[in-house]
């Protein structure tokens, strides 16, 4: 299973390196969202700084939608999905591989967005350990939920419209916990943040388990 996961992740990342869709389209989109927030909030630096944790994670969430759609549109074309099923790879391995490749792209995206809010919103950078672990756990959760619903929507005629409807409500608890953890870090009350981190870990673990258990059903649905 782990070997299959590595194979799938390496395949996706290789495609990404060669096609540069994430770099050329998703990353600029994420930064654009940051700019739009600044316009919408009347360029008030205080408001922006206070709202930074929430705005940051909403930008990540919107970019996740694109990243997940991209990850599964790869499989939709040319019957790759059938090829994957016929390849004898373990379904759970495919799921974990997809999660890993999406998560790696999201981490890169988050680093870029973090740089963005530091420069554009004048956000404070405190408790780097808490921020880092929040980022990692939240990313794992985002990728797990994204891949679970992503494969479900992949290849549907209504894929673009149904994915946000499925994904965003499911990610609401994650948005809340990640925002609170980052807010706690920037307010200098790290102890508060670690509790939210526990919720993030639970969320990620639950969805990873759900994905490992059900991905076979979702994928092998011919």
Partner 1 sequence: MNDTTASKATRVLGAVTLAGIGLLVLFGLVISGPDGASVGVDANGAPTGQGEVVRIMYMHVPTALIAFLAFFVTVAGSVGYLLRRSEWWDLVAHASAELGAVLLFATLVTGALWGEPTWGTYWEWQDARLTTTAVLFFLVLGYLAVRRLPLERGRRSRLAAVVGLLLGPATIVCHYATTWWRTLHQGPTISRLDPQIEGTMLFSLMLGMGVFMALYAWLMLHRFRVLWLENRVEDLGLDLALAERRAEAGASGASTTGPSPTPATGPTPTGAAS
Q: How far is the CB of 38 from partner 1 (least distance, A)?
A: 23
Choose between 128 and 222: whose C-beta lies nearer to partner 1.
Answer: 222
Q: How far is the CB of 43 from partner 1 (least distance, A)?
A: 25
Q: How far apart are CB 22 and partner 1 at their closest, in Å? A: 26
Phi-psi region of 43 (alpha: psi -120 to 50; beta: other; left: phi over 0): left
Nearer to partner 1, 56 or 149 (CB): 149
Cα separation, 213 vs 207, in Å, equals 10
Q: Which is nearer to partner 1, 172 or 189 (CB)?
A: 172
Between 13 and 176, name the residue whose CB sits nearer to partner 1.
176
d(CA 203, CA 171) in angstroms, rounded, equals: 9
Closest approach of partner 1 to the CB of residue 25, in Å:
26
Query: Which residues contact partner 1 by CB under 8 A?
Result: 149, 152, 156-158, 162, 165-166, 168-170, 172-173, 206, 210, 214, 217-218, 221-222
Tell me how far apart the alpha carbons of residues 149 and 166 are, in angstroms, rounded to a whole number. Answer: 7
Toward partner 1, which CB reaches closer, 18 or 157?
157
Min dist CB 152 to partner 1, Å, is: 5
Let me know: does 4 contact 97? Beta carbons within 8 Å. Answer: yes
């Amino acid at each position: 299973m782990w070997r299959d996961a590595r194979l799938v992740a390496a395949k996706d990342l290789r495609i990404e390196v060669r096609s540069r869709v994430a770099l050329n389209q998703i990353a600029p989109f994420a930064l654009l969202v940051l700019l739009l927030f600044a316009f919408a909030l009347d360029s008030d630096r205080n408001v922006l700084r206070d709202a930074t944790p929430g705005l940051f994670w909403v930008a990540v969430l919107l970019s996740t939608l694109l990243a997940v759609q991209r990850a599964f549109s790869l499989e939709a074309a040319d019957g790759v999905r059938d090829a994957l099923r016929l390849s004898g790879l373990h379904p759970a391995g495919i799921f974990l591989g997809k999660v890993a490749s999406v998560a790696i792209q999201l981490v890169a995206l988050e680093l870029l967005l973090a740089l963005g809010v530091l420069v554009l919103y004048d956000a404070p950078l405190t408790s780097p350990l808490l921020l880092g672990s929040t980022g990692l756990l939240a990313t794992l959760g985002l990728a797990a939920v994204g891949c679970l619903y992503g494969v479900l929507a992949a290849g549907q005629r209504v894929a673009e419209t149904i994915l946000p409807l499925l994904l965003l409500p499911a990610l609401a608890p994650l948005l809340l916990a990640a925002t609170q953890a980052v807010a706690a870090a920037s307010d200098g009350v790290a102890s508060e943040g670690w509790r939210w981190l526990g919720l993030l870990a639970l969320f990620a673990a639950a969805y990873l388990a759900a994905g490992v258990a059900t991905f076979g059903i979702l994928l092998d649905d011919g």
